[in-house]
Every structure is written in structure tokens, then in C-alpha cells.
Amino acid sequence: MTIIKKTMLLAGKEMQGAGGILAVTNPADGSLITEIRMASTEQVDLAVTQAMAALSKNNWFARPPHERASVLFKAAELMLERKETLAGLQTSENGKTLKESLGQVSAAAGIVRYFASVCETVEAEAPPPRGPYLSVTTHEPLGVVAAITPWNSPLTMAAQKIAPALAAGNAVILKPSELTTLVSIELARAFIDAGLPEGLLSVLPGDHTIGEAIINHPDLAMVSFTGGTNAGRAIAEAVAGRFIPTILELGGKSPTIVFADADLDKAAADVSSAIFGSGGQSCVAGSRLFVEQSIYDEFMDRLVAVSKKLKVGPPLDEESNIGPMASDTQRSRIERYVEIAKKDGGRVVLGGTRPDGPEYSDGAYYLPTIIDGLDHSSPVCQEEIFGSVLVVLPFTSEENLIEQANDTVFGLACGIWSQDLTKAWRVAGEIKAGTIWINTYKQLSIASPFGGYKESGLGREKGIQGLRAYQQTKSIYLGGLGT
């Protein structure tokens, strides 16, 4: 059993935490990777204080945009140079297949490059004069920003917050999930080693008490959080009285929709990937499937056939499509919902259990699961499970479909399969969700804003809008012209 001595980046410097012990385990076999010390509340205060001092001392925002961008470009290069290390850490901590983790390193580097480019190319706006004056709209940093990331995709989620916040001229305090501390620290090292001025980036590992200490710090200027809806609601309540901006990218119960005129083979493959990719541990997982009644049985046969081919196995095995769930706790949550489905009259069409075999005995593995026969009011159809469970329901008309698809507190994403693009576009316009895919799924671009409706969150990440979210907008007027 090893306790790592320096497992925290405080104001850019490696040091040991002063809080309690946090065990880091591998969900593939239950083994202990290491134990680390969490940050203390006193270290939270020190990180924020030093971040504020660094913003003043280093005059980060006052540097020419291309200089700030050069640090981000270098950080992206270092991520790719350290690709194997970053991917290996993520896979060992949360169970993603190594193939997926390698892809996410490339995606994280792409995110950082994008915001580096935006940083050095986006200018202040000068609206056309409407009278004897000149007006200019400028965008200024907020100050010290808290970035709180989840365990399911720590590489891309951290990059998606750190890069725009730094590009916008802020300092960042990153609080990673307890499950993915090591990879988060290693990612942050790329920014430090790229030449980021001292004090502008800290990574503080810990449990919810550290998160609360960061969020409630009086000098914090903004919170950007990705995670569960209940935690997002608590954050919103905590900061409401201080009127600081928040980005909350929260849960989802995203519908996928297959019309009778769809390419059924492609739709079956896409729907299976939409829910079972990453073991269903994705905020945009297509966890509710609506199939037009006239093709219900035919499509179910195709979907089950495709999903049966997915191999659950060790994440380092190149043939594995799905690794373990991120923890035993997460697998137990999935199992509870499957039991609820059975009690509510649901029929387990595929999976619904742990895989057999000695190679699975110590890991948090669970088979891809398809359930039908439920009423849409069942908790299994309404609540986010965050695992490899798909519920399937028939629909008979567009009106019936749209009513059911929107009948949830969430509104993050949706997928539609139909060869009638006019119909698909019409339905897309009626679905209350932040991202709609037609005849595809999970095609994401860092240049396109991302976020949700309803209890799926507030604000948007990605794109130029994602950069502006980390800035204040100021309008300046110069009068006395033309007189």
C-alpha cells in the first residue's frame, strides 16, 4: 500500500494534501492503486488567495492574446506527448477501455487547441455608431473560477473547463471526482509545464467537503460544474445569494427515436452505441428508446442481435467494447434499477445481470441490458441510471411520441432516425433538448455550444459562447464625436 507524497497541485506546485486519506482503486479488478491525502479546507483558502495574487502579479489577461494562446497550444502538444500515460491513468481509475481513453486524450488536446485559437482571434466588438459617439464592447475575466468535474470523462471534462477559463484570462481551481484524481492532476501538469504562470491553476483532490469549501469561498467568482442534478441544485442554491455565474451541465434521460421509415440496420447499430458506449456512463447516453409500433418487433430483433455482439471485458483488452462500471457503487445502483424494472412489470430482453466467469469476479462488470414492457411513469424510465440499461417503449403517432419524449425533468440530448428529413426536422423542433442528432448520435464538435434544457442544466459550454461564459461583458461609450 503506497501513499503518494505529492498528489495535489496548489498554485501550480506539487505538494501533499493536509486532509484525510483517499483510496484510489481499479474497478477492473478491485485492486488498490494507491492512497493519497486530500486537500484541507485551509489549503482551499490558500489556493484561492494565491490565485487572486497571481492574477494581479502576472497580469495574465493583459498579456497579448497570442501569448496566452501559445501556452495553451503547448499544453495541447504535451498532452499528446503524454498520451499513453494520461490514457492509462484514466482507464485504471474509471474502467474505460484503453481505446476510448486514448481517443479522449486526443479530444482533450483538440479542445485546448480550439480555445487557444479562439483566444488569439476573437476580438472586441465595435457596434456601428448610432449618434455622435463611439461604443466598444469588451470582455474581461471574472477572476478565480471553480471547475468541478465528474468521474466518467475526466480528461475531456477538465480540458473543456480549464482551457476556456484560462483563455478568457481567469485563474482556475479544479476539484476532480474522488474516483479520478490521478489523471486530473496529470492533465493539469501539461498546462503548468507549458509555461502557465505560477498560481493560475490548482488541483485540489477531496470529497464533497472540499467541493463545498471551494464553492462557498467568498472570493470565488464563478462555478462550472458537470455532474448529477441533485449536486447541481445544491451548488446553485449555495451561490445564489452571491450572484456569481454558474455553468451546470447535469443529468439526462435522453430519448432515441426510430421511425418505421428509418434505415433499421444503421439505427440499431447507432442506438446500441448511444446507450452502451462507455457502459452507459455518459450524460448524453440514449437511455430511453421509442420505436414506432409497426416495426417494434422487427427492430427489437435487430437491436438485440447487435447488442449481443458487444464484448464486456478488461479495459486493456483490445477486443473489449465495454469495461467495468466505474465502481462497485455504480454497479449496485444499476442493479437496483433493474430490480425496480422487474417489479414494475418490465421484461429483461437482454442482460440484466453480471457476466459469468472468473475474469469478472473482482471487477465491477455488468452486461448491456435492454428492458421493455414498462409504463413510461416507471422510475426506470424517468430517472438517470448512468449505466448500461436501455428501456424501450412503442409509439403510434408523432403526437404520442413527442408527449412521451418530453415527459421527463431532463432535456439534454435526443437522437432521431428517419429517412424523411422533413419529419425528422419537425420532430427535432418539438423536442426539449439542447442537442438533437438526426440519423447519428454522439457526434460532438468543440465549436458547437453544448448544454441542456430543464433540469439538465444552465448555461452552455464549448464554442465561442463557451469562452464568453467565463467573462464579464462591458460596454464603453466615447462621446463628443462629430459635434
What positions carry a catalytic annotation?
A: 161, 249, 283, 461
Report the length, in residues, of the chain.
Answer: 483
Query: What is the rounded CA–CA span in Å between residue 293 and residue 296?
Result: 5
Query: What is the rounded CA–CA span in Å between residue 126 and residue 52?
Result: 30
Q: Nearest CA to 269 among 95, 107, 415, 102?
A: 415
CB 452 within 8 A of CB 411: yes
The pairing of beta strand 369-372 with beta strand 389-395: parallel
Beta-bridged to residue 258, according to DSSP, are 291, 417
> What residue type is 381 in one-letter code?
C
Query: What is the rounded CA–CA span in Å between residue 148 and residue 161?
Result: 9
CB 251 within 8 A of CB 455: yes
SS3 assignment, position 452: coil
- Measuring CA to CA, how many Å separate 209 from each of 12, 145, 188, 204, 233? 22, 18, 22, 11, 16
Beta-bridged to residue 174, according to DSSP, are 147, 203
C-alpha cell belonging to residue 480:
463628443
CB 359 within 8 A of CB 316: no
Q: What is the DSSP letter of 168?
A: T
Query: What is the rounded CA–CA span in Å between residue 252 and residue 272?
Result: 17
Q: CB-based contacts of 356: which residues, under 8 Å, 6+ apart?
A: none
Q: CB-based contacts of 63: which residues, under 8 Å, 6+ apart?
A: none
Query: What is the rounded CA–CA span in Å between residue 291 and residue 261?
Result: 11
Q: What is the DSSP letter of 128?
A: P
- Measuring CA to CA, how many Å separate 133 from each of 123, 129, 474, 483? 20, 6, 16, 10
What residue ranges in 62-102 does DSSP mark as E strands?
none
Q: CB-based contacts of 234: which residues, under 8 Å, 6+ apart?
A: none
In angstroms, how far is the first alpha carbon of the chain from the final one?
Answer: 78
